[in-house]
Amino acid sequence: MKGFEAMIQPAGGSGEWPGTELATVARTGHMTGTRSYMAFSFLAREAGRVQICGHRGYSLHYPENTLQAFQAAKSWGATMVEIDVVLTADDEPIVLHDLTVDRTTDGHGFAADLTVDRIRRLDAGSCFHPRFAGVRIPTLSEVFDWAKREGMGLLIEIKEAERPDLAADRVMSHVAATDMVDQVVLISFDHVVLKRAVKRHPGIRTEAITHARHADIVGVLRACGASSISIELDMFHPDDGHALHAAGCSNRVSVPRPEQLAEYWRGGRDPLPNLVQWIAEGLIDAISGDDVPFIAKLVERAGRAG
């Protein structure tokens, strides 16, 4: 397994950009020379490839949910990124996983109690690594501008707990304003929120997140009007992949971080051969993870990179 681990490591073996390139991404959130992106379907059989999703961007080596992490994800092969949205005190949607700013910034408190101007002054990079000092929490508007310019897909998870319907409505306002309905999927663990969003905004694609294997996985999606499901690798079964595709639905499988996979390897177990086989057989439509070069190499190894 060490040979495979070495094979997937970027230059330098750390997943980091060398020299001035790293400085450029850290400072501006933009990487020069990245490939252009074409419109895509979320079904692998229609897209002719498996989509590669950076979970909160390339969050293994960049501050999560920042423009820098998103641009790095694209540069290492991602075709879309999963982001999280909450609302500020003045109802501005911002890209933040937690309800509070404590874990990822130098600030304190609930985002819902802070204005967007206050949140924009927080440092969202130093807590991750000193070289990212000055990186900011982006607004959803900024991320839409970036995705539109770079042609990237956005999977937008509603993390807002107190006003989830308003958060979904604000997301959809940005979708309409930017004409990005083909690039956006609204996702949530709260399937009731998804059901209400579909009712209020016909035509929006939604994805239900689950950490369980359901007896009727297609029924779960039909109940909330979703067309895709996000599931962890240890809960994915090829029978469910077949059932979803027969119903015209897609799936996204999340791969654990390297340190979690290492526990399997130390125990003489390896979930990757099955995963690569399922990708090669067209049973998986998108693969998601924090380590973008790693998951991109899995897709390439399966011959489904397009």
pLDDT value for 287: 98
Please tell me the total count of domains within the chain.
1
125 occurs within a structural domain: no
pLDDT value for 248: 95
pLDDT value for 40: 56
Find the angle CA(92)-CA(153)-CA(58) to the nearest 5 degrees: 85
What does the alpha-carbon distance between residue 234 and residue 271 come to, in Å, rounded to a whole number? Answer: 8
Task: Sort 282 into a burial class: Cβ within 10 Å, 0-12 / 13-18 / 19+.
Answer: middle
**The domain that contains 291 carries what CATH number?**
3.20.20.190
Whole domain around residue 208: which residue ranges? 42-97+140-301
17 occurs within a structural domain: no
pLDDT value for 244: 98
pLDDT value for 19: 34
Phi and psi, residue 78, nearest 5° = -70, 145
> Which residues, at least 6 apart from 268, have a Cβ–Cβ distance to it below 8 Å?
none
204 occurs within a structural domain: yes
147 occurs within a structural domain: yes
pLDDT value for 39: 52
1 occurs within a structural domain: no
pLDDT value for 27: 38
pTM for the structure as a whole: 0.88
pLDDT value for 216: 98
| Residue segments in the chain with a per-residue pLDDT below the cut of 50 | 1-38
Closest alpha carbon to 57 in 9, 13, 102, 25? 25
112 occurs within a structural domain: no
pLDDT value for 220: 98
Query: What residues act catalytically?
Result: 55, 97
